[in-house]
Structure 1
């Protein structure tokens, strides 16, 4: 069920035009920058996006200008993940094709993070998400008490039943409306 859903949403995301994505990314970034979760956070964990996802580059740029500390995921085998300081010069491509820190990096504990900007492929109306299937975020969020938020395109709203181990995000900003 989740496998088919992932495939369907991925196809829909990849079929969006560059112009549509650019407009949605600009709008979603603006909404996130005005959100109280963002405004109150000093340390923000986000992700480095795949081309088909919400683009985080402008968010990172604005957050740095706002004096916020930016963290990105570092993944390990067996679904383990940490958030580490964003240092562009230390990035190399990992096995998923994403840029990840290599060499020495600074890991922050969940208690040191004020906000996690969570990626995902599909979200249901209760803010449960379907990611890429590694379980990294569900495992991490299980022990994270702070606010979580996602920024998504309309095609990512899907109807599905979460698994018992799934962790919903606290808030989702969907292009043109909230839920």
Structure 2
């Protein structure tokens, strides 16, 4: 990463964080409900049986719990991320592990740098090549489908490996709060473009 792009990305992350810090829990909840509804209206979501989602960070991301619950209600297979953040390892990795029920989701324990609830066991989607759709988090998005992540590179590496192994990619849906939509982003060759971006209103 060039130093100029790195600085630009860090600056934008700080600016977005400042905006999100002003949102009330009520506002986040309302936007989360809107996003959950809009995602469920997507044809790609309706046709997907194998869906990868994520456990959101409170207050600074769309609350994904309702969408996860809806997936189980619609008898979809649900995968959640489990991230490797071990000291001494040069490359952090992320696996998507199958979670069997919504009760199992609620019982997950916080792990890793961001203290997110993550599964520690379950069928690894990478071993099966079995993901139809991925709900992708981010710090910022553009309407063209560009995304700025938190900087760890988990999703870019996972998607690159998935495509290399199976010669296909899942349908990618970025979800966020209204303040996370921007006009443009500093982009690098390894950054993946999303198929759809849905933000709150």
TM-score, with length taken from structure 2: 0.81
Q: What's the counterpart of residue 98 of structure 2?
A: 85
The CA RMSD measured in Å over matched residues stands at 1.6
Q: What's the counterpart of residue 173 of structure 1?
A: 198
Structure 1: segments with no counterpart, 5+ residues: none
The CA deviation string for residues 103-139 of structure 1, in whole angstroms up to 9 with x for no partner, is x332112720110000000112321111110000011
Q: How does 1:11-90 map onto structure 2 within 5 Å?
A: 11-51=18-58, 52-77=60-85, 78-86=91-99, 87-88=104-105, 89-90=107-108
Contact 1:79/1:139, CA 8 A, preserved across alignment: no
Structure 2: segments with no counterpart, 5+ residues: 1-7, 86-90, 164-168
For 1:112, what is the secondary structure of its paired residue? coil
Deviation at 1:84, TM superposition (A): 0.3
Aligned length: 175
Larger radius of gyration: 2
Q: What's the counterpart of residue 11 of structure 2?
A: 4
Contact 2:79/2:98, CA 8 A, preserved across alignment: yes
Q: What's the counterpart of residue 153 of structure 2?
A: 135
For 1:85 and 1:45, the matched residues in 2 are separated by 9
For 2:144, what is the secondary structure of its paired residue? coil
For 2:129, what is the secondary structure of its paired residue? helix
Q: What's the counterpart of residue 143 of structure 2?
A: 125
Contact 2:148/2:185, CA 8 A, preserved across alignment: no
Q: What's the counterpart of residue 177 of structure 2?
A: 153
Contact 2:9/2:186, CA 8 A, preserved across alignment: no
Q: What's the counterpart of residue 108 of structure 1?
A: 125
